[in-house]
Structure 1
Amino acid sequence: MPDPVDILVGRNVRKLRARRRVSQLELGEALGLTFQQIQKYEKGTNRVSASKLHQIAVFLGVEISALFEGVHTSDSPGRIELSPEAYELAVNYDRLHSPAGKEAVKTILTLMGAEKAV
Structure 2
Amino acid sequence: MPDPVDIIVGRNVRALRSKRRISQLELGEALGLTFQQIQKYEKGTNRVSASKLHQIAVFLGVAISELFEGANPNDGAKKQGLSPEAYELAVYYDRLRSTAGKEAVKTILSIMSGETYAEALG
Normalised to the residue count of structure 1, the TM-score between the two structures is: 0.67
Q: Deviations over 1:1-57 (max 9, x none)?
A: 000000000000000000000000000000000000000000000000000000000
Q: Distance in 2 between matches of 1:57 and 1:41?
A: 14
Q: Distance in 2 between matches of 1:38 and 1:113?
A: 34
CA apart distance, 1:110: 1.1
Gaps of 5+ in 1: 90-108
How many residues align structurally? Answer: 91
Query: Hey, what does 2:99 align to over in structure 1?
Result: 110
Q: Distance in 1 between matches of 2:102 and 2:57?
A: 40
Aligned residue identity for 2:72: H
Q: Distance in 1 between matches of 2:99 and 2:22?
A: 37
Q: Distance in 2 between matches of 1:45 and 1:112?
A: 27
Aligned residue identity for 2:23: S
Q: Distance in 1 between matches of 2:45 and 2:99?
A: 29
> Of the two, which has the highest radius of gyration?
2
Query: Hey, what does 1:64 align to over in structure 2?
Result: 64
Normalised to the residue count of structure 2, the TM-score between the two structures is: 0.65
Query: Hey, what does 1:32 align to over in structure 2?
Result: 32
Aligned residue identity for 1:13: V
CA apart distance, 1:113: 6.7
| Pair 1:2-2:2 in alignment | yes
Gaps of 5+ in 2: 75-83, 104-122
The one of the two structures with greater contact order (alpha-carbon pairs below 8 A, sep at least 6) is: 1
Deviates more, 1:64-73 or 1:48-57: 64-73
Q: Distance in 2 between matches of 1:3 and 1:68?
A: 13
Q: CA RMSD in A?
A: 2.6
Q: Distance in 2 between matches of 1:25 and 1:41?
A: 13
